[in-house]
Structure 1
Amino acid sequence: MFHFTALVTCLAIALYFFTCIQVAKARAAFGIKAPAITGNPDFERVFRVQMNTLEWMPIFLPSLWLFAIYISDPIAAAIGLVWIVGRALYLTGYSQAAEKRSRGFGIQALAAGVLWLGALGAIVWRLIHA
């Protein structure tokens, strides 16, 4: 069973849901009516956090699960937590100023890359040694 990875998946979804709520709050605070996505730089940064998180979910989630299946559930979950921390840092940094997003982005990108490369390596290893 993959209980740790399942829990991290739920936490990642909760983080994404939180970004959705932040966008709704920012729409109200800055008077940006849907479907508009521009008009206030503070709103646009909050919106980009949500969209960038959404853009990374299809990279992160399959990589997380493949790593858990082919390598280790607890290690995948630990790296997944690093990804979540990186996304949280990205959220707090980018919400303040565009220049403050890099550290969180780098952390989450590295975590996703480790998950993907680890999964790919394990799959290829098993194919070669099957």
Structure 2
Amino acid sequence: MEIAIAIILLALIQYMIFSGRVGWARAKYGVAAPKTVGHEIFERIYRVQVNTLEQLMIFIPATLAFSIYVHSFWVWVPGVAFLLGRILFARFYERAPEKRAVGFAMGFLANVVMVLWSLTAISISLLSA
């Protein structure tokens, strides 16, 4: 379970960095709160933060479920794939949004794997009880 919690905490740190970048971009590009539109680069940085929040809603419970019902050690594989995918997504989205697909796919597939594998393991456990 410690690996899962460490990965979740790393994802939260990553999200805090993305959030900090939004604040930095607001100042740099003159987009005063509560506005969420303005300079194109600001909007890209903001979308990275919002999309990451949307993915974290799946990632956090999926990581915990995978750690409990599938394997507490091997959770690092999809966990690291998610974190790296978010980095790639952010870098590509900010520079050329049309190239964000690889990073998005890495994170999304990591979530899919954890959700489906956990659900399968839970189902098998319930059916064998």
TM-score w.r.t. the length of structure 1 is 0.97
- Return the alpha-carbon distance in structure 2 between the equivalents of residues 14 and 78 of structure 1: 18
Gaps of 5+ in 1: none
1:19-62: CA deviations, max 9, x gaps?
00110010011000000000111100000000000011111110
| Structure 1 runs (4+) greater than 6 angstroms displaced | none
CA drift at 1:65: 0.5
Counterpart residue identity of residue 42, structure 2? F
- Return the alpha-carbon distance in structure 2 between the equivalents of residues 24 and 74 of structure 1: 36
**Cα RMSD after superposing both structures:** 0.7
Gaps of 5+ in 2: none
User: What is the number of residues matched between the two proteins?
Assistant: 129
1:67-122: CA deviations, max 9, x gaps?
10001111112211110000010011101121121110011011110000011000
Q: Does 1:32 align with 2:31?
A: yes
TM-score w.r.t. the length of structure 2 is 0.98
- Return the alpha-carbon distance in structure 1 between the equivalents of residues 48 and 38 of structure 2: 16
Q: Does 1:13 align with 2:12?
A: yes
Counterpart residue identity of residue 48, structure 1? R
Counterpart residue identity of residue 121, structure 1? T
- Return the alpha-carbon distance in structure 2 between the equivalents of residues 82 and 21 of structure 1: 23
